[in-house]
Structure 1
Amino acid sequence: MSALHQRLNKALLIAITAASMSLASCSMPQVDPTSKTIPTDSDQWQQNLGATFENLPKSDQQLLSRYMLRMKLSGAYGSGAMPRTTIKQALIQQREYERLHPNNPTGKKSPLTNQPGITANAQNYPVSLLPVKTSDSDSLNQVKLQFMLSNHGNIAIQSFEGTLTMTDIALTEGKRFDVPLSEFDPAIKPEQSGKIVIESSIEDINVMRAIRNTRDMTIEISQGTLNLIDGQEIKF
């Protein structure tokens, strides 16, 4: 075989090899960076997710950063509390969380709730009694009570659960009403009011008299929790 043929065969072999490598690289599936699992140990996030993080769009980088900060603040990671969460799942969860808590995307707690012994000012959340309705129950003593909760705070109220206490000149002691978790839809915005409806058994005739004549009646939150739209909890 002549030297010319050898050179042609060698060039052809190189071309075929290069073409095969090109086809192989084109046929390899692209790895989705959002399929990577987030380590449960937050100390490993930088080491394990650094390169993957850089491959995400800028908006997803910011969203994932807020998710990670929210998880660290909540203490969910580091103890293996949320294993096998992918970046894609984390982004979905964070978008939904921010939809529900637009003013608190990282879940940072209010300084008010981080200090033991600090309680809310009840005057910011006054309660009044609306006209009493007869309950659907057959019992004559069962009534449907409607309370109006006003919001004089700065953040909308999402829900309330706790105990209301009614005092009146006709009562020797206050009457307590337990309120199950009540969600407000829409949330009670500042300087607006929302309705709380419960059913209660009224056996004391003096209680009924006080309800019929509300002139000397006062109602306040004696204990419970107000959940605000930004994720804060106001304890009473």
Structure 2
Amino acid sequence: MNKKIGFIGCGNMSKAIIGGIKSSNISHELDIIASARDIKKLEQTKAEYKIDITLDNKEIAEKSDIIFLGVKPDMYEKIIEEIRDVISLESIIVTMAPGKTLSKIEECFKKGVKILRTMPNTPSLVSSGVTAICPNSKIDVDELNLLKKILGTFSLVEEIEEKHFDAVVAVSGSSPAYVFMFIEAMADAAVMQGLPRDKAYKFAAQSVMGSAKMVLETGKHPGELKDMVCSPGGTTIEAVATLEKNGLRNAVIEAMKTCAEKAGKM
């Protein structure tokens, strides 16, 4: 019997997960249903991914073995209040919002539900994301392995202690925005040097993607990889010195501290 996967809220992250599942070798094992307030967007999602849809969140809660809460953080309490009376204790709730701790979610449901706290990021839209996960004590090993398999269809999956979630929000959940700014700044500088803008974005983005791949695949420290590019008396070390002079590291560290602090207050 196939597992029923329900999505309450069908924004970009939910669609990234649906797309990952649909393109995977486990898609035949999972039936998907999604709800949202916008029927037009729901119909588009149905047509694109060939899933079931509904405007009734309770229908999702009643029919689904695994329920992804894909709504904004400020909507969580309202949605949970709406569905908690029809949730089976065998169903698994998957959260995807900063600041929503396992204890807060358990308190909202007012009963012992199974919960997986997650923090995916937007590169999941192109199957290149990373997702932090932390289960509560009611999820068993087989259930956790199934959840990892589902999340692994669109991202890397890393199990962490819940106390580290605010740091994960800063280092992966929000960090694509910092990287996009970095790519944009590099492209702007290349345009100043006369490179056409479309070419500038390609060179900058590909260089960032390739550099990240080197970190993941070589296992070398980022500092060691940086040193490999910095020839004595060369161009790169001049650029690195300028970045250090203008406080690149400190700016990134302070931005991430601010991000993590904000996540902890949500």
Same fold (TM over 0.5): no
Where relative contact order (Cα < 8 A, 6+ residues apart) is larger, the structure is: 1
TM-score under structure 1 length normalisation: 0.26
Normalized per residue, which structure has more helix?
Answer: 2
Is the radius of gyration larger for structure 1 or structure 2? 1
